[in-house]
A and B are shown apart, each in its own frame.
Chain A
Amino acid sequence: MTPARRATIEFLLDNLVWLMLIVVLIVFSLAVPRFFQFGIFANIVEQSTFVGVMAIGLAIVIISGNLDLSVESTAALSAMVTGLLFATQGIGLGLTLEPSWLMLPVSLLLAMIVGAIIGFINGFFVVRVGMAAFIVTLASFIWVRGLVVAVSGGRSAQSLAPSIRIIGTADILGIPLLAWISIGFFVLFSVLMAKTPFGRYVTLVGGNREATYRAGIDSDRILWASFIIAGLLAGVAGWLLAIRTSGATANLGAGMLFNAFAAVVIGGISLKGGIGKLPGVYAGVLLLYSIHTAINLMGLPAHYTQMILGGLVLAAVLLDTLKLRLRERLL
């Protein structure tokens, strides 16, 4: 086989999820009435924001060879902190800052700090103490959600200050600001993963931690940083979710973990670690929400979505295995 042809096949295999996304969009556009509209596409991108931002962090942790089940609860905690402090009704304390635009960065910063703290705790137990990431983050998934219920007393906060809400209502060039935010995050973190030593090390540590240690890379620091980034991004996702819903409820974000995981797996990230790229994850999220949207438009009951998504995850893993075999035969 010529190198050029092999390169083409490699490229196609690496970007299979984008191909799938395009095919699915074309099929839906032809088959589903009212699907082919600018508004629908903008809406898909906007809806993808919350799970998308969360999935970036999850993907980084998985590429580093670990697992983070706590991202959903972390997002809920950040959302609740945002709602509690800056919402005016329900349990909201209605905190105001002068000038009022200051509330936007301050609330974002708080949400990121809350998320980073949870990530730091996860990292401590996994990296320092040496516990299994599955158990540590499963525990966090439970206790952080418990904390959300505890601080809210099970009640909700509503009516976020308008100066924060602007993030959820503004648009640029007819595309919602939220959509731009998710695109921005994916571009930023894709560059981080593909072009910086940190991203390179995350992949290498996920592939062979012993080898990176021998090469003088501080693998503990890389793993710990991955957890902190995952927590931080979950915090941002929670903040965005609070803005979108203009407040927070105790069960906000329930079910996001599955969607984030599905997006990561569909996006070609291997749960074994060390394999996968972030742009693929974005395609995975978009694919997920294209399907959500199509099902909504067709007026099918919501439980069909779950069945289809479950099947999709299975198909994605199967595809991953097939890809591997195909590659072995080609090279």
Chain B
Amino acid sequence: MVAAASPAAAGAATGFVGALAALAAGTKGAVLWIRQDMAARESGEIWAPGFATLGLDPARLVLLRAPDVAAALKAAEAGLSSAAVAAVVIEPFGAIQGFDRIAGRRLALAAGRSGALGVMLRLAPQPGAPAGLSAAETRWRLSPLSSAWGAAGARAAAARTEAWAEALEGWGRPLARAELTRNRFGGVGRWPLAWGFDDGLFRLAERRLGALDPDVRRDAAAAADPRDRAAGPADRPAAAPGAGGLRRAG
């Protein structure tokens, strides 16, 4: 389950989930993205031109507009059970009381059988978690990350192009701060993540110091958070395919 920490974090959360879905889909699988009508009104529709950058080919995306939670859950189960679908994303809206323990278990079972990835994306989460979430293997909270951070290794990539054209890179690379709040198989932690364009993965971000931004210093002070380096076995770049915890249902 991936939640957005604030309305403005909806972009970061969507990017994170999109990248996970793209990884799961690989070159052949399809992604079933289910969104409840109200969710789109609240946080906007997913937008294919933006998705292409994340390596998710919009041609393999099937979007279902569900009128309510029950329909969304039913469709999610159908998708998770189908061999053609590699990942199912479900965007519910509101308190989702209908998502009880049984519904959660059903989704987890379906995902477990087929090996597909199931993710629930809550963009405007209400306080109080519905019982069904107990079936999720991992729970995440996503918040925005300032462009004062950059991709580790981005310098190397830039060196390949004309040095004077490095200025063309600019800011705006997808960045997010991902916090793993519950993990059935390991520890929790927070990681700053940056999108790498050349390899199509989220990687650990590193602080980009330099004369570029006067606000970098302010950022550095604010973000010196001891929790930034995770403890425990979960301390790995979250999007590496070996992160088994995310394979089934999250």
The yes or no verdict on A and B being binding partners is no
* Interface residue ranges, A against B (CB under 8 Å): none
